[in-house]
Amino acid sequence: MATTTTETTDTIDVVDPATGERLGAIPAGSPEAAGAAVARARRAFPAWARTPAAERAGALKAAAQRLREHLDEIAELATREGGKPLHQSRGGVEAAIGAIEQYAELGPLHRGRTLHGAPEATDVMRPEPRGVAALLVPWNDPIAIAGQNLAALLVTGNTVVFKPSEKTPLSAQRLVEVVAPELPDDVLVLLLGDARAGRPLVAHPDVDLVLHTGSVRTGMEIAEVCARQLCKAVLELGGKDPLIVDEGVDPRWAAEQAASGAFVNAGQVCVAVERIYVHEAVAEPFVSELVRCATELRVGAPTQEGVEMGPMVDDAQRALVEEHVADAVRRGARVLAGGETPDGPGSFYPPTVLVDVDDDMRIMREETFGPVAAVRVVRSFDEAIERANGTDYGLAATVLTPSQGHAARAAAELRAGTVKVNNVWGGAPGGGAEPRGRSGLGFGYGPELLDEVTAMKVVHLEPAPGS
């Protein structure tokens, strides 16, 4: 079974962002708790690494089936602590199940290479597990992100210390409780807490690999620690993803795409649309339709049917959005929809449309991570590409265009790990991308993730003399 470490006297409350209700509490974490978690995972590693890949895959398939049986329960927990509408939380659990099943199939097929040496010798390159992995998962899509990373790590023979965000720990804890019966003891160890757990975990000398999805600030701190220890790090960090709306597109369709990209999960998505560059030929009708989308979006308690957007995860995240919007307005931007924090309980913030923005405003430079569509009008596709690339981030980008030539240029010229044409949420299963700039390091998805979480060993084998 998995083990939860709770050695600490300090606690952190878990709060429903829609109501302010206290849902529970978790330990805050400590170096002692982190050390105990790593020690357990280290002891479990040799036997798990020796387990045949097909057996590891079978355990993951059984775990996926157990998750399916508890889908609604885990989704409701994720909604109550994270504020995401219930149907979106269900989608996150379904994504986790799908990823676990996918890596259960891919793991035993993960290949090395045969080398061509002397005729009497055998030379191979074989992938092996790296050892103990520290997995740090964010609050905005905790179950889906945990599922895919846990599956890739476990199917390749690593053991894992899993630290979910302190903002959404209850659904992660339940996830571990559900899959635990299918795994040997301490192959998966749950460590609860905030930075008091995360910092000593990452810095522990017995951690061989760190996977982190989250903020740039935390990711850079992790990268520095891993660099000092020569520990492998795979990081998916923030984004300031642009959306280019080219001339000739249907303004209504383009606005619906933009609204979906900017407002889903209250804008709290790594690949959310954060900057919009619209061609002047379609700017007026596009903005009009975008305002309509924002004002018609159904905002409310995320457990209610039909709600399309719930609250932000907490008041601190909402305050950051308020600061970005206020900065933009002071510098000359206009608010055409939203922009004012509502009265009443919960960390709600309305879908907001800003125009007359400039690229030196915080709303266009820093990751906002909130439901704000900031629109700048451009004169040409060339200008749109140039402004879209004017950022330190490089997670994803989208272009809406009827021009095949412009689509090809966007794919080639946009500096981002993922480029989507004519669909802000498009993409086939199994794709793997490497973020650019401050958005991260390494492949976080697809079969390529199996390469990231394993190390390659070269083996030369030849017969002994006289044998």
**Active-site residue numbers?**
236, 270
> What would the two tokens of residue 195 be?
């930075």
Q: Are 153 and 133 in contact (CB under 8 A)?
A: yes
d(C-alpha 97, C-alpha 111), whole Å? 24
Residue 378 DSSP SS3? strand
Angle at 243 between CA 250 and CA 18, to 5 degrees: 100
What residue type is assigned to position 296 of the chain? E
Q: State CA 403 to chain mean position distance.
A: 31
Planar angle of CA 251, 388, 257, nearest 5 degrees: 30
Q: In the 8-state DSSP scheme, what is residue 341?
A: P
Burial grade of 331 (CB within 10 A; 0-12, 13-18, 19 or more): middle
Residue 312 C-beta-side C-alpha neighbours within 13 Å: 23
Return all residues near 122 (Cβ < 8 A) that are at least 6 apart.
459, 460, 461, 462
Q: Is 30 helix (H, G, I), strand (E, B) or coil?
A: coil
